[in-house]
Amino acid sequence: MEKNVEQVDAFLEELIRRERFVEPDPFLGTRLIQALENRLEELTSASHFMIRNLLQPVMVTVGLVFAALIGISLGLIQGRQSEAGVRNEQIQELRNSFYISDFADEGTYFMNKN
């Protein structure tokens, strides 16, 4: 049995020893450097791709949304101002119809009348 173990161990050592002589392709290094340089270019172009195809549309969309929001808020301000203008005209008409020269406080006006 002991002899068997020794033989098996020697067999294993021999298998490993044989594998030590196996060498990779001598041009592996050149191929690897080329592949890595290609990958670097891909990474660089990927960042350009990101800017061109992702950031640019995002910026345009944000700009459009911003412009739309400014437009809506300007429209709302304008609407309020025109409403206020209509109200002023109505008040002016009322004042004219009641011959009120100046607009006085309602409470004081009626108190003064009494």
Partner 1 sequence: MTESELINGILQRDRNALTHLVTLYQRQIVKTAYYFTGDMGEAEDITQDVFYEILRSVGTFRGCSGLSTWIYRITVNKSLNHVRRKKRKDLFLNLEAIIHRNHPTHFHPEPSGMNPGLDQKESRMILNRALNALPRQQRTAFILHKCEDLPQKEIAAVMNVSISAVESLIYRAKIQLRRKLNFYFPEYIK
> What span, in angstroms and rounded, lies between the C-alpha atoms of 106 and 83?
23
Task: Between 19 and 105, name the residue whose CB sits nearer to partner 1.
Answer: 19
- Contact call for residue 24 and partner 1 (CB under 8 A): yes
> Is residue 103 a contact partner of residue 95, using CB atoms and an 8 Å limit?
yes
Considering the complex, what minimum distance in angstroms separates the CB of residue 55 from partner 1? 21
Give residues 43-102 in contact with partner 1 (rule: CB under 8 A).
43-44
> Is residue 65 a contact partner of residue 53, using CB atoms and an 8 Å limit?
no
Give the length of the chain: 114
- Contact call for residue 32 and partner 1 (CB under 8 A): yes
Residues contacting 31, CB < 8 A, separation 6+: 25
Task: Between 14 and 89, name the residue whose CB sits nearer to partner 1.
Answer: 14
- Contact call for residue 2 and partner 1 (CB under 8 A): no
Residues contacting 100, CB < 8 A, separation 6+: 94
Site residues (vs partner 1, CB under 8 A): 1, 3-5, 7-12, 14-16, 18-20, 22, 24-25, 28-29, 31-33, 35-37, 39-40, 43-44
